[in-house]
Every structure is written in C-alpha cells, then in structure tokens.
Amino acid sequence: MSEAIQVADCASLKLCPRYQMSQNKSTCAEEVPAKQARNPLGVDSALNLQELLNTKGSLRGSTKHTAMLLLWILSLAASFLLPAIGEVVTNFKACNQFFLDGKPPNLRPINPARICQRYGNQYRFATMYDRNGLIPMYSAYKYNPGEGERSKEWMIEPQLALPGDQNRKSMELESTCGIDQNLLASSQAVDQDYQAAIRQDRGHLAPSSHQPDQDSKAATFTLTNIVPQFSALNQGQWREYEEHINTAECSETYILVGAVPGNNKINNRVNLPSHIWAAGCCVLQKGKRSWAVIAENNQNNLAQRTAQASMEPESSCGINIYLLRKSQAVSSDYNNATPYNRGHLAPVCHQPNQESKNTTFALTNIVPQFEKLK
C-alpha cells in the first residue's frame, strides 16, 4: 500500500464519544442504544451521506472529508444492521439471510430498486440499486471464499426493464436476453457504458473472490453489482483490502460494500463514485466485532487516501495484521523496545473519565519515548 494511506481509528475521530468504546470489546448494532446507533452523527443515516456529498469548499476531498466519510461508514458498521424500508422486490424479505439478523440497513437512494440477486435458482447476495445513477448503492453478502473461476460474461437484471414479468426472476446475459436495447439502457447500466470507459474498471461491490462456489462467483458478474472504479484503486489498494480480511475466529461474517455517488459520469450516463466503502460485522462465539474501510476513487495511485477504522483491540479488529503494519504502528513494534516506552501524547492522567482514559491507549497516540524522559 502506498505511503499516502491515511488511517483513522476510533480514538482519533472527534465524534467517537458517541460510540460505546471499550478497551476490551467492540459493539455491533444491538449493543448500542437504539437512538444512538440510528443517529450517530445527529441525523438519519440516509441524510448523513447526502450532507457529506453536499459539502462545499476545502472540506470535500480533504483529509477531514475522508475522515467524516469514514466515520459515517463506521457508524453503519457499528449499527450493523438496522431496519429499513436477480429479483426486483419491494423489500429484502426473500434474501434477508445476507443481512445480520435479517435486517437491511437504513440506507437507500432517492429512486431505489431492491434486488435479490438470483442465479441458478438460488439467491446469491442482495443489492440496493440506484435507478437514477445506474449504479448499486451497496451489495450485501456473507463472506465465504471458495474455489472457482472468474466469469467472462456480463449479465443484467431483466425485471428492472420489465417490472411486470414474474417469469424472469434471475439475472440474464445481456447478449441473449432479447430485451430492446433502448428499454434495457433506460433501466440500468449496460455493457456499452463500460466499453467507453478507458481509465475505469468494472468494479465489483460483492467481490467474486469472496463467494463460495462457481455459480455464486458468476452471479457477481451482473452489471447491477458493478460501479466504475479507477484501475489504480481496483487493482491496487482495494484489491489488497479484499485479499486481507481476517475472519479466522468468525462463525459468520456479514459485509456491505457500497459506493458514494460522485459529480461525474461515464458515457454521459453512469455515475462515477467519489469513494468506495465497506462495512463488516463478524459473529464470534461470544459477541461480535465490526470494521469499516473507505477509499477515494481516483486515477492517481499516489494521491489515493484509504482510511480504516475499527472499534476493538488490535488483536481482534477484523483487519489482517499485514494490512495494519503497512499503515500504522502495531503492538509488536513496541515489544522489546528497551530503552523506549510507549509515550502518550495525550496523557491518560489528563482525561476526565474512564472512557476518555481508554481512548489514549490508541497506538496512533503513542511515540517511542526514552524511559528516563518518561
């Protein structure tokens, strides 16, 4: 990962006192008071994103803007998951197994389409689709990587174009679906949109590599699961994130991957996201843990900012230690560091209460300090 990576943990984000923080455990939705979990930034989750998108001036695209977006994503991971309003459905009841406790997040675009992604007569994952932007807002799936090959063909969702046709509940190949091209293109992104994109890849939200078998991997190659993603990100930091998720202690892992709509389009039709994000929740034998990651979607590999956050000790944060070591100091860096101690910049003794004292033990608040000076 590049040196431009910016890491934020919960202790370093100004609004973190709104979360239930502890040195010993992290929280998922049901462990946070309902009012607090639904409203971590002071407004409804569906409005939080829009407020960030409408940010003007120097904040947008800045470190602060990235941190605010990360905090919003982390709030989604922390509230994993709260109720909300290949088969287009009025709700996710038919495929709610891809959401923790069967509850989709309170997150939707202005003109939504809920898709239970069906392939081979089975539901493979769920997608909230933005009909206006012609991109998925998020895809939800259970992390269960297995063997299989990447598909070479792209599919579409026929019920977006033919909402009354109950006989076409599964995704179909665009090349053989037989739907009028103008009708199809008016309802969703099509292959031609991405053929015109030179610098962007077809970026999966639900990745093929995280699916358990060949059919499930093939199902991710529907254009309703795809956003324009700059090659530098898709083949770089985002791929590294996808390959280093640590779920060794998880009985089940639920993941949402989404896109923040941007101000530009490809082929004058399909929204080009400004950021790509992910939020996950790992079900442990006792309790749960959550994590979040967000990355700027741009073409400059050196200028990309990728931020990560977790609400748990380093040993259980859900991000592989390899990824952590590339982005920040970790506990092993300070083992056998004589004659240095872990020196607090914000001292624990200057904090007003136990929770505030706990936050000073973030390694992002620590420097190597000579024992005699300390």
In a domain, 317, yes or no: no
Q: Which pLDDT score is estimated for 96?
A: 94
Q: Which pLDDT score is estimated for 54?
A: 45
Q: Which pLDDT score is estimated for 154?
A: 93
Same domain, 270 and 366: no
How many Å apart are CA 198 and CA 168, to the nearest integer? 33
Same domain, 297 and 332: no
Domain boundary among 255, 275, 309: 309
Residue 122, judged by CB atoms within 10 A of its CB (0-12, 13-18, 19+), counts as middle
Domain boundary among 309, 341, 358: 309
Same domain, 213 and 335: no
Is 284 strand, coil or helix? coil
In the chain, the number of structural domains is 2
Task: Say how many CA atoms lie within 13 Å of 222 toward its Cβ.
Answer: 31
Same domain, 99 and 248: yes
Same domain, 292 and 366: no
Report the greatest alpha carbon distance in the chain. 77
Q: Which pLDDT score is estimated for 224?
A: 96
Give residue-wise pLDDT tens across range 251-299.
Answer: 999 999 999 999 999 999 999 999 999 988 889 888 888 888 888 898 8
Same domain, 158 and 212: yes
Is 28 strand, coil or helix? coil
How many Å apart are CA 180 and CA 169, to the nearest integer? 18
Facing residues of 59 across strands?
A: none
Same domain, 357 and 254: no
- Find the helix packing angle between 45-53 and 63-78, rounded to 10°: 170
Q: Find the CATH number of the domain harbouring 213.
A: 3.40.570.10
In a domain, 210, yes or no: yes
Same domain, 365 and 233: no
Same domain, 339 and 216: no
Same domain, 341 and 214: no
Q: Where are the alpha helices (DSSP H) in the chain?
A: 34-38, 45-53, 63-78, 158-161, 181-187, 191-195, 214-219, 231-234, 237-243, 321-325, 331-334, 354-359
Domain ranges, residue 171: 88-309
Q: Which pLDDT score is estimated for 248?
A: 82
From its phi and psi, is residue 283 left (phi > 0), alpha (psi between -120 and 50) or beta? Answer: beta
Residue 265, judged by CB atoms within 10 A of its CB (0-12, 13-18, 19+), counts as middle
Quick one: which of 159, 158, 193, 150 has its CA closest to 176?
A: 158
How many Å apart are CA 276 and CA 296, to the nearest integer? 7
Same domain, 276 and 187: yes
Is 116 strand, coil or helix? strand
In a domain, 112, yes or no: yes
Same domain, 336 and 283: no
In a domain, 101, yes or no: yes
Facing residues of 172 across strands?
A: 156
Give residue-wise pLDDT tens across range 28-78.
Answer: 333 333 333 333 222 233 334 444 444 433 334 445 555 566 656 655 555
Q: Averaged in consecutive runs of 10 residues, what is the pLDDT profile of the chain (374 residues)?
A: 30 26 32 33 36 40 55 56 52 92 87 92 94 96 92 88 76 85 92 90 96 95 96 89 86 93 94 92 86 84 55 45 55 74 86 78 82 70
- Is residue 155 within 8 Å of 127, Cβ to Cβ? no
In a domain, 181, yes or no: yes
Q: Which pLDDT score is estimated for 315?
A: 45
In a domain, 39, yes or no: no
In a domain, 75, yes or no: no
- Is residue 252 within 8 Å of 142, Cβ to Cβ? yes
In a domain, 47, yes or no: no
Task: Say how many CA atoms lie within 13 Å of 269 toward its Cβ.
Answer: 16
Q: Which pLDDT score is estimated for 294?
A: 85
